[in-house]
Amino acid sequence: ETETGSGSAAHGPPRAALSELSALLAPAAGEAVRAGAAETALALSGSAAGRRMLAGRPAVVAALLELAAGPCPPAARDALGCLVNVSAEPAAHGPLLAALPTLLGLLPAGPACGVLANLCRERGAARRVLRGLRERGSGLTPLLQALGEPRPPPQLGPLLCNLSQLPEGRRGLLDRSRCSVQRLLPFTQYKDSTVHRRGVVGALRNCCFEAEDHEWLLSEEVDILPFLLLPLAGPEEFPEDEMERLPLDLQYLPQDKQREEEPDIRKMLLEAIMLLTATKPGRHVVRDKGTYVILRELHRCEQEPDVLAACENLIQVLIGDEPGPGMENLLEVKIPEEVEEQLQRGDREEERWRREEEEAGGSTPCPEEPSG
């Protein structure tokens, strides 16, 4: 395997340069030299090959992390930026997790959220991060508080999304004694960062898997539904009686109201509402609050086939008959083995189809934008 095409040819043969780099990043090298080395590392991490090389060197990752937590701002910024990129590589996860306390100490700074978000794509790493946060005593609180800041870091959304793939992460977001999931809600309409918005919507969808919290999520205390519906609503005017029956947040929307422009986010919103209809009281509230009217209008203008399918599924549930006894909680219904097998086969096929599509499209991994 040759890695001469890494795009940083100015730094000589990469392998030799790498050994040098870790020496230059070490404290013994002095402040100016370390800052220069961090800058070089950041440039190197811009390419996939560079990321792979850096990630394969635990000493480099450790030195970068030490620099990131250090007192020199430009070097720390470059080192952390480099780590965000490198953390997209699974090989970097070992050394990063080894220095988890240092990493958690950098929260809730944006790049630190980014590194952790990348790490937490793996369930095992997410579990360790959650444990680390708990051991610090504050759990998710600093992250939730950062959401209340005027400009929360955009990487916070993906981090919360990835943490909420685990039940213990969802528990943190669904803590009723504090303002937790409520802080996430306004960001379904957040225009400043698609990355953050996508992460937050993903986290909300994950929370909707907790059926025993549905009633609370839909109650006055949280009132999640309007926040999930608002991005799906357009500028359509409704007759006054229909309008007044909608949740307040959806009433009298301005003429320039736009729907969520990212199809995958629209789909996640629909899936979240779908999950909320899994229980009988949930279905009742979702039906009662004018969801159908919003979906009817969405259905008229939706172009994306899979979003359209999600929309149709949800409409089916809303206008369909109530399921019989024993089937009220759709998340708990026992699925016959042969049906499950069939569904899994379908999923596998879909997965393969998606992979082929990705390969055909030649899409490169995008380290700054981890998915949930």
Partner 1 sequence: MKRCPAEIDAAQQPDLACLQSLLFDEEQGPAELARMYKNEGNEYFRERDYKRAVIAYTEGLKKKCEDPELNAVLHTNRGAAQFYLGNYRSALNDAVQAKKLKPTHLKAIIRGALCHMELKNFSEAIAWCEEGLRIDAKEKKLVEMRAKADKLKRAEERDARKAKVMEKKEQCQKEILLAAIKERNIKLVLEPSNEEEELAHGLAEISLDGFHSDNATGAKVHLDADGNLNWPVLFLYPEHEQTDFIAAFHENSRFIDHLMLMFAELPPWDLERKYLPSNLELYFEDEERAEMYELNPEHTLLQVLQHESQKVIVKPVLLTCTVL
Binding mask 194-223 for partner 1 (x = CB under 8 A): --------------------------xx-x
Q: Does 251 bind partner 1 (CB under 8 A)?
A: yes
Say if residues 243 and 251 touch (Cβ distance below 8 Å). Answer: yes
Half-sphere exposure of 248 (CA within 13 A, CB side): 2
The nearer residue to partner 1, 174 or 311, going by C-beta atoms, is 174
The nearer residue to partner 1, 79 or 144, going by C-beta atoms, is 144
Q: Does 239 bind partner 1 (CB under 8 A)?
A: no
Exposure string (b/e) for 70-98, b if CB count within 10 Å is 16 or more? eeeeebbbbbbbbbbbbbbbebbbebbbe
- Residue 132 region by backbone torsions, left for phi larger than 0, else alpha for psi between -120 and 50, else beta: alpha
Minimum Å gap between C-beta 180 and partner 1 is 9
Minimum Å gap between C-beta 252 and partner 1 is 4
Applying CB under 8 A, which of residues 11, 128, 178, 287 lies at the interface with partner 1? 178
Applying CB under 8 A, which of residues 39, 122, 249, 368 lies at the interface with partner 1? 249
- State CA 170 to chain mean position distance: 13
- How far is 78 from 169, CA to CA, in rounded Å? 30
- How far is 341 from 9, CA to CA, in rounded Å? 51
How many other CB atoms are found less than 10 A from the CB of residue 241? 7
Binding mask 148-177 for partner 1 (x = CB under 8 A): x----------------------------x
Instruction: Look up tokens 């083995």; give the residue.
Output: 337
Minimum Å gap between C-beta 148 and partner 1 is 4
Binding mask 108-147 for partner 1 (x = CB under 8 A): ---------------------------------x--xx--
Contact residues toward partner 1 (CB under 8 A) are: 141, 144-145, 148, 177-179, 182, 220-221, 223, 237, 248-249, 251-254
